[in-house]
Amino acid sequence: MRKRQQIRKLILMISLLGFTFTCMYISPYMTVEGSTAGIVSAGMLFWIIMFAISLLSGRVYCGWFCPLGEIQDYTDKCIQKPLKRSSRLSSLRYLWWLLWVCSAAFLSIKAGGYHKIDLLFNNPTGLPPYSRGVYANIYFIIAVIILFSLVYGKRGFCHNFCFLMPMLTFGKRLRKHLKYPFLHLTVKPQNCTSCKLCDQTCPMSIEVASHVKQNDLSNLECIMCGSCVDVCPVKAIRFSWDIKDDIKINKN
């Protein structure tokens, strides 16, 4: 494993260990609840920042910082079940996201708009221990992730349920039209030897080698972890900010 991947796994481990603390600050539920009182909570501010970052780097949060992704990685090592995709559930992710955004917008309008920023909303001390309900939600989320891994296999929760995915891929879709610098993967298909090490290391079960042959690594499920970049023995894949790269948007 290259040094970059070691650093990435360390960041993810720290993110997971701190999840009981950060859950109150990254929870979409807290965003909606704050909207009922016209309050911009830490959760809303966090996701606004993540959305802004995604406009420049896609799903880099998923691959480098998401504690739920790290839970899945550990679960997948134990279960070792190949990914089973569900097109219906995958499509529903967009509906979940739309309901979340519309709920926050509707509740804020009902409250007379956002008129206050309270980063400690529902958490006056800012530190654990939280209420029993918060911990119950954490345990519930972990249980759901494990269930999806059992039923749908590797990163089943990401592929079939995560309703934040549409927001984090918006930048990749937007770049196609606005042509601004964007962190992405670019390839040299002539270098590829079809060893398929990239397929084996991809945490999202993307058939990377076939995409390399097609000169297209714009799959929306890519979480920008760089595993394929670091494992490729012939440097056929690399990160790039070059707006001249002709990258197609994969709509699958």
Q: Is 80 exceeded by the pLDDT of residue 132?
A: no
Phi, psi of 147 (to 5 degrees): -60, -45
What is the pLDDT at residue 88? 82
Q: Is 50 exceeded by the pLDDT of residue 202?
A: yes
Contact yes or no for 205/83 (Cβ under 8 A): yes
What is the pLDDT at residue 156? 92
What is the pLDDT at residue 178? 81
What is the pLDDT at residue 80? 87
Write the pLDDT tens digit of every residue in 48-71. Answer: 999 999 999 999 999 999 999 999
What is the pLDDT at residue 1? 60
What is the pLDDT at residue 231? 95
The CA distance from 100 to 94, in Å, is 10
Spell out the alpha helix ranges (H) of the chain.
3-17, 19-26, 28-35, 42-57, 60-64, 67-79, 87-110, 132-152, 156-160, 165-168, 170-178, 197-201, 208-213, 227-231
Q: Is 80 exceeded by the pLDDT of residue 217?
A: yes
Compute the average pLDDT of residues 24-45. 87
Considering the chain, what percentage of its residues have pLDDT values greater than 70? 94
- Closest by CA to 153, choosing from 202, 82, 75, is 82
What is the pLDDT at residue 28? 82
The CA distance from 167 to 30, in Å, is 17
What is the pLDDT at residue 245? 60
Contact yes or no for 237/229 (Cβ under 8 A): yes
Write the pLDDT tens digit of every residue in 137-195. Answer: 888 889 999 999 999 999 999 998 888 888 898 888 887 778 788 899 999 999 999 99
Q: Which two tokens stand for residue 209?
A: 């080698």
What is the pLDDT at residue 172? 80
Contact yes or no for 93/200 (Cβ under 8 A): no
- Closest by CA to 12, choosing from 75, 66, 78, is 66
State the distance between the two ends of the chain, measured CA to CA, in whole angstroms.
30
What is the pLDDT at residue 252? 37
